[in-house]
Amino acid sequence: QQQVKQSPQSLIVQKGGISIINCAYENTAFDYFPWYQQFPGKGPALLIAIRPDVSEKKEGRFTISFNKSAKQFSLHIMDSQPGDSATYFCAASYGNEKLTFGTGTRLTIIP
Amino acid sequence: DAGITQSPRHKVTETGTPVTLRCHQTENHRYMYWYRQDPGHGLRLIHYSYGVKDTDKGEVSDGYSVSRSKTEDFLLTLESATSSQTSVYFCAISERQGNPYEQYFGPGTRLTVT
């Protein structure tokens, strides 16, 4: 049973554009929502994370938007750059150390 | 990769043979995890450890066992490898103090079972 659904599976965005990746969850007990970035041949690395007591968190060009009532959260990458080309995973956790990951989005930024 | 090494980095093995993957950390973190990554499935937790000799199952634990005899080492064993266990395996670590739940991942081990 997939508890975190991620879309789209792949995404192509022009340089300078906005990349948007969406995730939806089912378990209302989730209280921590991180996004991980993975480059080819590397392990995932934490990019940004949010807790459900805020609706938005911004770090540089990366923003998480959180909609508790809809049980959805999304990653926005502003002014997307070729160096942002990677696979992005959303995840969720509830009060413990175990993370449930989405299926991943392969992002390609074209010139 | 946050002081995490995995060995071997690549391995090809035959169906039915035992395989052990090793994760070694130099961060003295309490929690260690084994994930497998497959296309269309993301990262799925196999087993995790919350201390020396303390381990628990994840969502895809069948066919795998783990051991942790020292803080720095977490071993994943496939007792009798099957083709369905062909995957990329990642080890991760975390520590409750500081930034809770943030997991740091190793570089991965690509395992092919023929």
Among B113, B107, B65, CA closest to B85: B113
Q: Is the pLDDT of residue B92 over 70?
A: yes
Question: Which of B10, B56, B101 has the highest number of chain A CBs within 10 A, making it the mutation to test binding with A?
Answer: B101
Report how far residue A75's alpha carbon sits from residue A66's, in angstroms, rounded to the nearest whole number: 9
Q: What is the pLDDT of residue A16?
A: 98
Residues β-bridged to residue A35: A48, A90
Q: Looking at CA atoms only, how far is residue B105 from chain A in angstroms? A: 5
C-alpha torsion B74→B76→B79→B84, nearest 10? 170
Confidence check: pLDDT of A65 > 90: yes
Mutate to test the interface with A, among B43, B44, B87, B88 (most CBs of A within 10 A): B43
Please report the pLDDT score of residue A94 as a whole number: 81
Using pLDDT thresholds of 50, 70 and 90, give the confidence band for residue B55.
very high
pLDDT of res. B100: 57
